[in-house]
């Protein structure tokens, strides 16, 4: 099969590409085309060890470039599209919403529209086999109180940030194309991912790297905002299961079944670092914690009910939070050069934007 992965140089996308080319053997990958715009959070170096793999093709470009999408679909005879490409950081969406709607809404509209036109040119067997999988987030469902049941696929959308609003819009676009045109789509909504190759502005890598650099560990509000944490490779296996076993037109929630408040995440990271790389002064890294003003509109709790994908597709997360966070901290300890490179790239782009 020939696969087009968009946003494959980002955190989840690069882990998905690696998961397929390094570990997946039940279906043969003839070509995997990775289309990425290489914004500040995209890093081609995350997949540098795959560049020599004859199945792998990297293309720098934008999912909103309809002529490029048209060419890639036709030239590589694509059998499935997995759309990771998205602006995804809530804080940045609050500061500057427009890029989120450019990529997450207009970009999704253009790539699904070109995919529809391409799909219509295929013979019947190829049409039946084709899939368009859209990767989304649990944030489209809004927020939960401590007593509320976890999000289900039927939970009404109630996005509370520009980021989640843009993702909700993209989910609706995908649903509309399936309903109106019979286009073979699937959507996944995942909980908070963590693991290797995550950009250091997100909570877990930020806390790890700030701790090691002797910086403050900033915690929003009272630190009791709760998220369900999903190890990224478990997310990748869930997407792969959905792509080939999911019912067309359906949405599948993918969660880690690990609800944790942010303060517990930070304390766990500090404890692991105290053991693996103690501070020279003998103090715990937890002494670097500070509490900062809460983010505007900060959702209190997310939780995913993933019983649908477990029962229909026989998927479940392989990692507990305890095993996944140990692997994650160790990866960042072992890959300081990658961290320094992507952080410098981020600041270089920001300095360029201010010049």
Nearest to 81 by CA among 168, 169, 186, 164: 186
Strands 259-261 and 226-231: antiparallel
The answer to whether position 288 is within a domain reads no
Q: Confidence band (pLDDT; 50, 70, 90) for 201?
A: confident
Least confident of 115-124, 151-160, 291-300: 291-300
- On average, the pLDDT of the chain sits at 93
The answer to whether position 187 is within a domain reads yes
The answer to whether position 90 is within a domain reads yes
Dihedral of the CA atoms 91, 93, 94, 96 (nearest 10)? 120
Please state whether the predicted TM-score (pTM) of the whole model is above 0.85: yes
Range of the domain at 148: 2-194+230-256+297-319
Distance in angstroms (rounded) separating the CA atoms of residues 136 and 65: 21
Q: Residues 126-183: pLDDT tens digits?
A: 999 999 999 999 999 999 999 999 999 999 999 999 999 999 999 999 999 999 999 9
Q: Confidence band (pLDDT; 50, 70, 90) for 346?
A: low
The answer to whether position 347 is within a domain reads no
The answer to whether position 324 is within a domain reads no
Q: Confidence band (pLDDT; 50, 70, 90) for 60?
A: very high
Q: Between the CA of residue 268 and those of 40, 132, 264, 273, what are the distances in Å? A: 28, 38, 6, 9
32 token code pair: 């995997």
The pLDDT value recorded for residue 29 is 87
Could you list the active site residues?
A: 138-139, 163
The pLDDT value recorded for residue 283 is 97
CB atoms within 10 A of CB 327: 14
Q: Which residues are CB-contacts of 213 (< 8 A; sequence separation ≥ 6)?
A: none
Phi, psi of 3 (to 5 degrees): -120, 135
Distance in angstroms (rounded) separating the CA atoms of residues 285 and 212: 8
What total number of domains does the chain contain? 1
Task: Put residue 202 in one of left, alpha, beta given phi > 0 → left and psi -120 to 50 → alpha.
Answer: beta
The answer to whether position 338 is within a domain reads no
Q: Between the CA of residue 144 and those of 160, 260, 297, 300, what are the distances in Å? A: 12, 14, 13, 6
Q: Confidence band (pLDDT; 50, 70, 90) for 326?
A: very high
The answer to whether position 120 is within a domain reads yes
The answer to whether position 286 is within a domain reads no
Give me the CATH number covering residue 17: 3.40.50.720
- Residue 111, classed as helix, strand or coil, is helix
Q: Confidence band (pLDDT; 50, 70, 90) for 25?
A: low
Nearest to 251 by CA among 142, 157, 321: 157
């Amino acid at each position: 099969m020939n696969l087009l992965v968009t946003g494959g140089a980002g955190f989840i996308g690069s882990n998905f590409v690696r998961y397929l080319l390094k570990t997946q053997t039940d279906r043969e990958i003839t070509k995997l085309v990775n289309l990425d715009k290489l914004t500040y959070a995209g890093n081609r170096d995350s997949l540098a060890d795959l560049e020599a793999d004859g199945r792998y093709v990297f293309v720098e470009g934008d999912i909103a470039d309809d002529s490029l999408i048209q060419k890639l679909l036709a030239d590589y005879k694509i059998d499935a599209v997995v759309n990771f490409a998205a602006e995804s950081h809530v804080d940045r969406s609050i500061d500057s919403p427009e890029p989120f709607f450019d990529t997450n809404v207009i970009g999704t509209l253009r790539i699904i529209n070109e995919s529809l036109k391409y799909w219509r040119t295929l013979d019947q067997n190829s049409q039946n086999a084709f899939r368009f999988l859209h990767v989304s987030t649990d944030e489209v469902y809004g927020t939960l109180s401590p007593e509320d049941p976890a999000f289900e696929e039927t939970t009404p959308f109630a996005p509370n940030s520009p980021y989640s609003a843009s993702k909700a819009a993209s989910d609706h676009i995908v649903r509309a194309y399936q309903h109106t045109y019979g286009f073979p789509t699937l959507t996944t909504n995942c909980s908070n991912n963590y693991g290797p190759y995550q950009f250091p502005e997100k909570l877990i890598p930020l806390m790890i790297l700030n701790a090691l650099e002797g910086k403050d560990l900033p915690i929003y509000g009272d630190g009791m905002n709760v998220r369900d944490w999903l190890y990224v490779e478990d997310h990748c296996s869930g997407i792969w299961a959905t792509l080939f076993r999911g019912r067309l037109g359906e949405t599948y929630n993918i969660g880690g079944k690990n609800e944790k408040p942010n303060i517990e995440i930070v304390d766990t990271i500090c404890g692991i670092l105290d053991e693996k790389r103690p501070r020279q002064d003998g103090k715990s890294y937890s002494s670097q914690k500070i509490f900062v003003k809460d983010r505007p509109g900060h959702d209190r709790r997310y939780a995913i009910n993933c019983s649908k994908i477990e029962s229909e597709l026989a998927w479940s997360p392989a990692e507990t939070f305890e095993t996944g966070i140990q692997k994650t901290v160790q990866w960042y300890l072992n890959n300081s050069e990658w961290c320094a490179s992507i952080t410098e790239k981020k600041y270089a782009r920001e300095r360029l934007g201010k010049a």
